[in-house]
Amino acid sequence: NAGVTQTPKFQVLKTGQSMTLQCAQDMNHEYMSWYRQDPGMGLRLIHYSVGAGITDQGEVPNGYNVSRSTTEDFPLRLLSAAPSQTSVYFCASGQGLGDQPQHFGDGTRLSIL
């Protein structure tokens, strides 16, 4: 059972480039989310989804796009990378009702030059 799989693990981009961070889960979880980790700020929610076809904004959505065409996949797109988006990105999934915890991927370390 793979759980939550994030790819790539590391990426370096130039300012203005676009890219997609991939997230897939094999636990049939309805709820999926993307967070970014910044020093001293813990995990900040970028976007989340409560099921296929449904997405919503989190705390820091600007500069990021998401879609949820299947239950398994929840990709995060950076439209035009900026140095302020240098961070470690975590994808998580859960049952969604709140009475079950989220399961996290191993993270993607992204550097924008």
Partner 1 sequence: ILNVEQSPQSLHVQEGDSTNFTCSFPSSNFYALHWYRWETAKSPEALFVMTLNGDEKKKGRISATLNTKEGYSYLYIKGSQPEDSATYLCALLKTSYDKVIFGPGTSLSVIP
Q: Which residues bind partner 1 (CB under 8 A)?
A: 30-31, 33, 35, 40-45, 48, 50, 56, 58-59, 90, 92, 94, 96-107
- State in angstroms the smallest separation of the CB of 14 from partner 1: 26
- Whichever of 45 and 82 has its CB closer to partner 1, that residue is 45
- State in angstroms the smallest separation of the CB of 50 from partner 1: 4
- Whichever of 13 and 105 has its CB closer to partner 1, that residue is 105
- State in angstroms the smallest separation of the CB of 24 from partner 1: 15
- State in angstroms the smallest separation of the CB of 102 from partner 1: 6
DSSP one-letter string for the chain: ---EEEE-SEEEE-TT--EEEEEEESS--SEEEEEEE-TTS-EEEEEEEEETTEEEE-SS-TTEEE--SSSSB--EEESS--GGG-EEEEEEEE-SSSSS--EE---EEEEE-
- Whichever of 9 and 80 has its CB closer to partner 1, that residue is 9
- Whichever of 31 and 81 has its CB closer to partner 1, that residue is 31
Burial 11-23 (b: 16+ CB within 10 A, else e): bebeeeeeeebeb
